[in-house]
Chains A and B, each alone.
Chain A
């Protein structure tokens, strides 16, 4: 039973447009959510996180939105650039877990020039 789900395996977006990646979760105990980016043959790289007490966190071109009632979060990338093409993983954790991360299955983002 996947506690963190990314239902879109892939997404294509035109350069300069907004990319929106979605993630759903089922465990109400999660209190932090994270996004990681992964290029081929490299390890995942931390992008941005959000605490469950917030509904938005912004870092440059990246913004994460959290809707606790819907158990849904999204990552917005504006404007999208070809270098953003990668697999994006949503992850979640809770304080009683020693900060183990539970990952979604990932979404392949392709930004077309």
Chain B
């Protein structure tokens, strides 16, 4: 069964450093997402991406964050200058039908980011 994959599973970085989290969505999906879960808190939407551009973003997704689909298979989240409060589990997801309210998003296993 197709699945979303993410690398690395765990990333440790120093405050102020740039990190890139990588995702390979399900191959025939067109919509891609990033969510995060700070320890003990809710899973929060960050951004959605379709047709090589951001289709929706939350207020969390500020200028420190960017997303890219550098080739036909990968989808990346970059944090330019990490802060302590960026420590969280980051989930990538993909789906077929985007804004359709019945659309199902399929999630990867997550990348745990620890900022020291």
* A and B associate in one complex: no
Interface residues of A (CB under 8 A from B): none
